[in-house]
Structure 1
Amino acid sequence: MLPVLRFHRGWLRPVSRADAGFLRGLLNLPDVRRYLCDDKVLTEHEVAAWLSEHEPFGADGLGLWVIETDTLGAVGLAGLTPVTGPHQSDPEMAGRIEPTIALEPRVWGQGLAREALTMLIHYARDGLKLTGLVAAADAPNADSHRMLTACGFERFGETSGVLHKLILYRQRFVRSTHRTDTE
């Protein structure tokens, strides 16, 4: 089971099937689906299938979380999942783990996406002991590019996407090699 991950102004709680309606509404908002869903409107069945697809990852500590705050309730989606989509054919992306962040437009520009991504990075590095993460963002999605670079990702390439060119990012985690006097 996935842990609840707390950050400064909110928390990430594991997604459940009861969240299907919220997620369908979020993923079908025009400003969210434009890049995250390649502008495709998702049906109730597609969202349920997508949730089922991600359930098995929970055993590995990967999966999907709902982003919540005390004052606003559920406002978004966060995830750590294996790379899928057109960018999985890139050798640097294949078999790696990527974060996903989606927020309701009413809370854009408030730093919640950045806080949630930072929490996912800490969890991936310290909790899951991953050696790094990768990410892909549609070329015209300037907000995602700013967030990824602000959170320590570096651009390393590009590939074709469904609607737009995808810019590829990676973040390698540095492990401390510091030894104490007692070692």
Structure 2
Amino acid sequence: MTTLRTERLTIRPWQPEDRPALERMVRDPEMMRYVTQGRTWSDEAIDEMLERQQGHLAKHGVCFGAAELSETGEVIGLVGLQQLDDGEFELGWWIWKEHWGQGFATEAARAFVDHARDVMGLKTLVAVIDPPNTASKAVAEKLGLRFECIKSARETIARREDMPIAFFRMQL
């Protein structure tokens, strides 16, 4: 994955030294409430996610990468693209709770919208969002994604739990 830079962020592939930052997020029930309905991840689930992202990177040149503050190098979330089972590319973002409400998700995700269109030549992107997650739905709408339907999370590679997800789509 080409490292993407925004005004305040650098988004890059995960490195082994980033694992503690990821563990901090996925072991916090508040952070996971819209991802796994609050269930935290085991070491095996973390390993699986990192391996899956390495696979996306090797196959497609993109993944959900580490988003770090350019000024300090602090990893504050993950943002990027991954291919779903149906072949579409999902635009996704998780920002650590200490940094919510500061526009980081929109800023980073917008860089991936531009990359998907201008570099990858994609024509559409989708986002899958837990229906009660009003903040993520607002980010999606700011980016130009539009609500399409409610699906079962099991219909995508990204969400294996049986929970409803709001499915958003945008034309590039």
TM-score, with structure 2 as normaliser: 0.87
Q: Within 2, Cα distance between the matches of 1:113 and 1:29?
A: 19
The residue aligned with 2:92 is: 100
Instruction: Identify which range, 136-145 or 33-42, moves more after superposition.
Output: 33-42
**What pairs up with 1:46-85 in 2 under 5 angstroms?**
46-59=45-58, 60-69=60-69, 70-71=71-72, 73-83=74-84
Detail structure 1 runs of 4+ shifted over 6 Å in the superposition: none
1-side partners of 2:152 and 2:115: how far apart?
30
Q: Any conservation in 1 of the 2:67–2:79 contact (CA below 8 Å)?
A: yes
Larger radius of gyration: 1
Q: Cα deviations across residues 37-68 of structure 1 (Å, max 9, x unaligned)?
A: 33221112220122112212213112121111
Displacement of 1:151 in angstroms is 0.5
Q: Please give the alpha-carbon distance, in whole angstroms, between the structure 2 residues aligned to 1:66 and 1:54.
A: 11
1:179 corresponds in structure 2 to none
Provide the rounded CA distance (Å) in 1 between the counterparts of 2:29 and 2:73: 20
Shift of 1:163: 6.3
User: Which residue of structure 2 lines up, in the alignment, with residue 142 of structure 1?
Assistant: 134
Match of residue 168 from structure 1: 167
Q: Which amino acid aligns with 2:3?
A: V
Q: Equivalent residue for 1:12?
A: 11
The residue identity in structure 2 corresponding to 1:160 is S
- For 2:157, the equivalent position in structure 1 comes to none
1:131-163 deviation line (CA, Å, top 9, x unaligned): 110111111110011000011001111123446
Q: Distance in 2 between matches of 1:49 and 1:158?
A: 26
Measure the CA separation in 1 of the matches of 2:68 and 2:100: 14
The aligned residue for residue 124 of structure 2 is: 132
Structure 2, unmatched stretches of 5+, are 154-160
Closer/same/farther in 2, CA of residues 71 and 55 from structure 1, 3 Å limit: closer
Out of 101, 105, 111, which is 1:109 matched to? 101
* Corresponding residue for residue 156 of structure 2: none
Among all aligned residue pairs of Structure 1 and Structure 2, give the percentage whose two residues are the same amino acid.
Answer: 26
Contact 1:61-1:128 within 8 A present in 2 as well:
no
For structure 1, which runs of at least 5 residues remain unmatched after alignment? 85-93, 174-183
Question: 2:112 & 2:4 partners in 1: Cα distance?
Answer: 8
Specify whether residues 36 and 131 from structure 1 end up closer, same or farther in structure 2 by C-alpha distance, changes over 3 A only. Answer: same
Is the CA contact (8 Å cut-off) linking 1:14 and 1:66 kept in structure 2? yes
Aligned match of 2:110: 118
Name whichever of 158-167 and 58-67 sits farther off: 158-167
One-letter identity of the residue aligned with 1:65: G
